[in-house]
Amino acid sequence: MTKHAAFLDRDGTLVRDPGYLARASDVALLPGAGEAIRRLNESGVRVIVVTNQSGIGRGYYSEADFKSVQAEIDRQLKTEGARIDATYFCPHDPTLHKCECRKPGLELYRRAEHEQGVQTAGSWFVGDRAHDVSPAEALGGHGLLVAGPDGTFDEPVPAGSERVEDLASAVDRILGSVTPRGRPFQVAVLVSGSGSNLQALIDRFSDPAVLPRVEICLVISSRPDNRALERAKAAGIPTAVVPDDEGSEEWMTERLEACGAQLVVLAGYMRLIPRGLVAAWSGRMLNVHPALLPAFGGKGMYGQRVHEAVLESGTQVTGVTVHLVDEEYDQGPVVAQWSVPVVEGDDADALAARVLKVEHRLLPSVVAAVAEGTCLLGPDGARWIEPLASGEDRLREIT
């Protein structure tokens, strides 16, 4: 079971919020909430409700009323095969009592961490109010702000959080970045050439005893005849070749969706990714580039040309960048970089070989970190919960 939890707000996120919900007979799960929680349960993500209940402190209802509401929520969830693992609440009236347990205070999350054996870093904080999700920033988690009852977003999005439509979309987002129990993290790899980075991924994840478990579910090649496809076939990985026609965006969208990929990795893929596909995979598509972006990147900067430009510039340091893909070549947010020295007497081949060795270490390490949830990806960039095992996550010197 993952040590990560989904910390859910209750009123307005899980159940309808009539304002100071006090009676079991008023409990109504929001549409899709039961199924969303069941999916979390099945994936091994702990479901912990954290809720402000100032109605108790204000004297509008008692703790016993709160518990009967909770029992009714549990009962309704049970009929959908879902369960809440633990509930924490703050009963205080903020006008009388300044406490640390009322959200956005962190006390209840810290208590849950201690008592439930979960880790707040890397966990998800879901709710319809800014104060439900803002603790994510302080605790190293990821906030998912759901829309209000009429589907509008009135609340500001705090740092470290993003907007999602509802609890079901929040769970899609969570499960897109966590390995469901028993099933390896699914990665699709896009290639064009020799596929040595693909091979590095195959080698790193081929042993099922090595954690995290990652499965390359599909290799898509921009060309029908290259070494990368041979490598994929030799490893028994399904392959597909991009058709050379107008419909390739639609084709690619369908193939990636059907293969169940949770992450797409461009490993030496030399075509621009169509806009629609970038949008659909925003925050879930990585590229490896053989230089320290933003230097030596952009249209026309690929393969040997990158290394020739590096040598021509006279710089003494180059490196490898893994970054999120956006609509432009090599421009999305940087996820990790390792540097590589340029050595006296280098030609492009010698430099390329030195850089490639580092690519073969960095790319699988980043994929592993995403699969195990120590690197959280989002449309705006990556958040590192733990640095890569072998060093710093951003910039590391390799000699």
Could you tell me the smallest distance in angstroms from the CB atom of residue 188 to ligand GAR? 15
The DSSP H or E segment spanning 35 is helix 33-43
Active-site choice (142, 289, 323, 360): 289
Pairing of strands 375-378, 381-384: antiparallel
- The CB density around residue 208, as the number of other CB atoms within 10 Å, is 9
Note whether 297 and 289 are within 8 A (CB): yes
Could you tell me the smallest distance in angstroms from the CB atom of residue 378 to ligand GAR? 22
Q: Count H helices and E strands in the chain, helices first.
A: 13, 16
Of the pair 134, 221, the CB lying nearest ligand GAR is at 221
Of the pair 184, 268, the CB lying nearest ligand GAR is at 268
Of the pair 7, 302, the CB lying nearest ligand GAR is at 302
Of the pair 108, 363, the CB lying nearest ligand GAR is at 363
Of the pair 167, 306, the CB lying nearest ligand GAR is at 306
Note whether 288 and 200 are within 8 A (CB): no
Could you tell me the smallest distance in angstroms from the CB atom of residue 8 to ligand GAR? 40
Where do contacts with ligand GAR occur on this chain (CB under 6 A)?
191, 193-197, 228, 267-268, 288-290, 302-303, 306, 330, 356, 359
Q: How many CA atoms lie within 13 A of 364 on its CB side?
A: 24
The DSSP H or E segment spanning 187 is strand 185-191
Provide the token pair at 166. 């509802």
Could you tell me the smallest distance in angstroms from the CB atom of residue 242 to ligand GAR? 15
The DSSP H or E segment spanning 340 is strand 334-341
Residue with tokens 């041979």: 230
289 is catalytic: yes
> CA-to-CA distance for 105 and 160, rounded, in angstroms?
16
Could you tell me the smallest distance in angstroms from the CB atom of residue 329 to ligand GAR? 7
Q: Which residues are paired to 382 by β-bridges?
A: 377
φ, ψ dihedrals at 144, nearest 5°: -125, 110
Could you tell me the smallest distance in angstroms from the CB atom of residue 286 to ligand GAR? 11
Q: Name the nearest CA neighbour of 142 among 392, 384, 395, 397.
A: 384
With left for phi above 0 and alpha for psi between -120 and 50, is residue 59 left, alpha or beta?
Answer: left
Residues 6+ apart with CB under 8 A from 349: 304
Residues 6+ apart with CB under 8 A from 152: none
Q: Which residue is nearest to ligand GAR (CB)?
A: 268
Helix%, strand%, coil% for the chain, nearest 5: 35, 20, 45
Could you tell me the smallest distance in angstroms from the CB atom of residue 287 to ligand GAR? 6
Pairing of strands 214-221, 375-378: unpaired
Of the pair 68, 196, the CB lying nearest ligand GAR is at 196
Of the pair 146, 306, the CB lying nearest ligand GAR is at 306
Which residues are known catalytic residues? Answer: 289
